[in-house]
Every structure is written in C-alpha cells, then in structure tokens.
Structure 1
Amino acid sequence: MTTAVEATLDWVTDVNDAPFDSRPARNPFRTRAWAAAWQRQATERILAHRHATVTDHSTGVRETIDFLLVHGNGSPYWTSQETDAGVDPVWPGPVLWAGSPHAEYGGAGTATTAMTKTLLDAGHELARELGACALALPGLDPAQAERVAAVRGPVLDLATDVAFTRQLGEDHDMWWAGMPASHRREARRQWRRGTEAGLVLQVHHGPTSRPMLDAFHLLAERTAGRHGSPLYGADMLHQLADVPGTVLLAACNEVDLVGGVYGWLHDGCLYLWASGIDYNHRLAPRTYTWLMGEAALWAIDHGATSIDAGRWNCQAKIRLGYQPTILRTAVRLTSPDPGTAQRLQSLSDRLGMRALPFTGAHNRW
C-alpha cells in the first residue's frame, strides 16, 4: 500500500526562480520583493542564502521560505535582544534563520502541520550541512508557534518579541477615540502643539525616498542606540525601498529633518518598521507623538484600516491604544547542547520580565 506524500519541499537557487505562493503575502516581510532586497543588504552578516518552496498537496497551499545562514553575532536585531535581556551572546556558532529576525513577522512554510514538519526536517538537515549550530524560526504568531510546537522533535519554543497593532477607525476622530481616556487628551495636545510649532509631514514613496534615507538612517541609529543597541544599516533602508508600498513619513521643520518613520502600506495596513528622532532638536519632545498621530491619519486617508507600530517601546504604544501580540522564536539545535538551550531560555525569560507590565499575566510568555 502506497501512502500519499502530504507535503514536499523543492530547492531553488534564487528567490525569483521560485513559483509564486498560492496566497497573497499576509505582510510585506513575506513578499518576494522583501526577500530579494534582503539578499542585497550587508548589515546583517549573511554567509549563505538558500530558498525553498514547500507545498501541501492535500490543500494546495504553497509558500516560499528564505533560509539565511548568519554569523552567530551577525544579526543586529538579535544582538539588540541580547542587549535588552542583559545576557551575553547566546549562539556558539552560525545560525540558519528561516527568515531574518529583522523582519517583524516570519512563519513562512508553517501554514499547515504537514508543511511545518517538512520545513523543520529540511531546515534542520540544511543547518547541519552548512555547519550551523541551530535552525531558528523567528517572528511566529501564536497559531504558527503552536503548529511548530506540535511537530515531534526537540524544538525550543521561546517568546522573544512583542508587536503592537490597532484598528484605525473610519475617520480621524475614531483614531483618537481608540486611545485610553487617561492618555487621549495629552496625545492630542502634543499632536496639535507639534503642528502649531511648525512640524510638517513630508511623504516619500519607494525609490523616491532614497535622497532622504541617509539622513533618516542617522536618526534611526541614534534612536536605537538610546534604547539599546544599533539596529539598522543605511544599506537595509536603500535596498528595501524597492519593496512595493515603501513609505518614509518625515517630520520636518523648515529645512530640518526632526524625525521619521519608515515602513510599508500593505494590504490595508500601515507597517511602521523603523523610527528615528533628532533628540537635539528643540521640537524633539513633541515629535514622536506628533509623528505617530500623523502616520495614522495619513494611513486612514490612504485607505488603510489598521496600523502595525512594530515591536517593543511598549509603554508609548499602549498609551496610543495599540494592543500587544507576543511573537515567538522556535529553535531546533543541530546537536544536543544544554548550555545553549539554557542561555536561550534565560534570554526569553528576561525579555518576558520586561514585557509583563504591558502584556498581562494572562498572556502566555
């Protein structure tokens, strides 16, 4: 008796050679354009790329996975997690990531249980072949994490991030009404006074944003440094400008760039991925709240129904009415390593202590 194969995985040399996914990308980080752009950046130290398409033949679902072999301390975003947790570097060697940790959301190849098992088996084999210490799947939402955890095998299920989203409402008044009453009046006052003080929103789309990106990068790096450790390379911003929906929302005062947010308008949601403020400018104290308000109002005017404010900076986002979602990283070590497993769990636990006041004890960390 022959048993039908539920899911298969096919390797491709270049992401552009892969067949298209069976469903539209649920966020900009899962688009082919993002994967192609990320191959060209150099700030995250990628040692090798591999791409694969996994297909569930019982459902017809097909998704493309980007495997990235990265030096153990070669991902600025992961390093920022270690810094925030107050731990030493956790990886003893290179890591094979199924999607970059710089992408807010991952989970490609986990749409069904059959796909998830095939992905984990093939990824683990590739990780061993490339000399990686682990296969890691970052940015998993709760449903994706549950499917990974349900697959047999020694997989570490680690909470590592908090993302913040909210509905925009049909008009500007509904945006403000969606904030907690205790903070709404102050947020609106800061936004109004920012406008009165001369802040003006400049909007730069896609490749036309490139003349502004070097100046914005300096602000984004300094801002990230204030909160922990540097995250962005100018090359990241320049390469990702080719992703459809890219937008730089810049807070300007006459000729000065006072702040900005960089992200994507994708499928009715504005994703804010990077932000920067000139903290030496006299308008800096008002700029973050003003800019977050302007971003939301611009999104409403351009047909968006929701907004994703990215990860962490929890208190500021809660005050603006955003709701938290805990994101997880699944790790399968290529050989038994209790020390690395313990360090990873410690990192997750320490990040959880930072997140607890904003996620609530009822949400599983």
Structure 2
Amino acid sequence: MTDTDTEKFRSELLEKIQSLEAKQNENVEKILGKLESLEKTTDVNNNSIELKKPENNFSGKGFILTHIFKNVSKIEENKNYDSDTEEYFNVPWKFSITKEDKRIGFLLFCEKPKISENWFIDTEYELKFRNPSGRSVEIRKFERRFENSVDGGWGSKECMEWDQLEKEFIFDDSLIVEVCVKIKKMEGTYQKTSKRCFSEPKFSDAVLISGDQKFYVPKLFLASQSTYFDALFHGQFQESKMTEITLTDIDSDDFQNFLELLHGESAIDEDTVEGILLLADMYDSKTATERCEDFLLNFSKKTMKKKLEMSTRYNLEKLKKNCMDSVKTVNDVKAVLFSDRLQIDPEIVAALLDKCLLINGAV
C-alpha cells in the first residue's frame, strides 16, 4: 500500500467516524429504566396485568438498514439501485431506490429463500432520508406481510419529487437512506421443533402471554434467571393470586426458545440465537446472554461483521474482543466497515482505524 493509498484510506475512515458520531446507536435501557417506563393496566375482574412498552421502533424485534448511495447525479431513470443485503434474525433483507418520472421510488425486500414450508413475517417500516445536518427525516410508512408465496419487494414508486430530494437531502452527490423495520410477527421461519412444553399449570404460579400463546411458569425460577422478572414478580407487581401477564410485542417463538434455554435445553442455533439474545438483553438474563455469546464465539458460522454488530447491540464484550483480535489485515477492516452502514459504534471504528494504521506501518 502506497503512502497515497494510506492517506486516502485514513481519510475515508475518519469521514466514516464523523458520520457515525451524528447517528450513534441508542444504548439499551437498564432494567430499572424499563420498569419505570412500563405502562401498567390491571383488570380487577380477571386479575391480569398487561405490560406495554413505550412507543419505540427498536424496543422490540426490529432493526435499521442504512445505505449511502453515491454519485446520485448519475442515477439513471427506471433502474434499481440496491443497498447491501443484511441479515437480521437469520433473515436476509435489502432495499432499493429508483428514479422514475422525476420521483424517487423505494422497495423493501425480504430475501428469505422460498421453501416448501409456509412462513410469513408481518412488518411495519419507515423510510427516512438523512439531511445535511445529520437529522433523519421520516418520508413514508409502510405495512407488509412478506411470505413464502410472494416474491418481490414492497414500497412506493412515488415517495418524493426528485427536485425536492436534491434540494433537501442530497449533499456531496450522496444520499443517505434509512429503513427502520419493526417485526410484528414471524411464523414458520424457525426450522426447529419445541423441546419443552410450557402449557402445564400444575407446577406454575404465573401465566405469561405472548401473542395467542400462554406460558405457564414458576415465578421463583424465572425471577432467579432475570432481574426484570424478579422485579416484576417480587417488587411492585407482586400478586397473591394467580396472575396473567401479557408481554406486548414479544414473538412467541422467541419466548419459547428463551424459556427452553433457561430450562437447560439446547435451544440455540443459527436461526434462533438473535431472537434469544434480544430477550436475554431485554429481560437482563445473564445465563441466557452468556450461553448465546458462547455459541457465537465457538460454534456460529456468521460473518465477523455480523458478530461484531451483534456484540455491539447486545453488549457482548468477549465476542467484541474476539472479533477485534481477528482483524489481521486492511481487507479485514474493510470487510467490517465498508458496507455503507452507519450502525457501528464509533469507538469500534476508531479502534479499527488504529489497528489499520498499525498493520500498514508494520508492512
């Protein structure tokens, strides 16, 4: 690598750090913060409690796809321009933009392979453009069921007039697009059978409801595995009688896998690990988090980029260190950073920049 290449690469990394600082990932709320923000409604007649989380696209099962479209002035009419394909909850996603009739169009694609078994994913998603000041502006909202029997993307050909796009959102001949996806329900996407049944009320003293499924659980055991449920069952939510608690926006398959893991079953695989991690982090379950991290460290075949993203989102320090230690070449750094995504922790970007410079200096 020449001095000119080094300086160019260093400038690109510094530019990425600056852009990341304008849009850092929000830190996951700690357990007390979650409990304080819960809206409690109690039905005296049936002794049930419904727990509602605050309106937040990323408090449940969701993700953000981000892409920088460069050389926008050279975009051709009636041609699709795709983002990178990114994996979330073991499902590949991407989006595309088009220029048609002096308007910008947008489509979101779920690229899960078409298989014989039926599956569907119900989603809500928002299209956002980043303005020159770094603020994300909501453009359109969509709802869509992606399923095994339907091909293609879903969006709109008329999201905004191209003249308005140029005036308000294109700078340095680039357009930053964000797609904020909330998964409302997934069914048939996990290729596994349940290993334990939670429908037996005999040895339980609480009922947790996710979707249309009831889980009969012992309070004491679940409280010992999760500070969230400890506070729920033995703090201000303590009930002397049988209590039914509805967990809103929680995928029932993920919760099944989470409970199986806590009960010692081998519930973790490439399909289920991210859904379990989401709940382990949300419910502050150290055991579940450690077992998921062990799987990602020792057994998972996910890419280093995906592991690094998960280590940041779910605070997996061992996995993060392992990923950083695996970076040996400049190409390794590029594989992690240069996908036009703005979701990586700026501290990681800075550390990778230092490592890159050290690698280059050692050559």
Q: Shared topology, TM-score over 0.5?
A: no
Q: Under a length normalisation based on structure 1, what TM-score does the superposition of the two structures give? A: 0.29
- Structure with the higher helix share, 1 or 2: 1
Q: Under a length normalisation based on structure 2, what TM-score does the superposition of the two structures give? A: 0.29
Task: Find the structure with the greater CA-based Rg.
Answer: 2
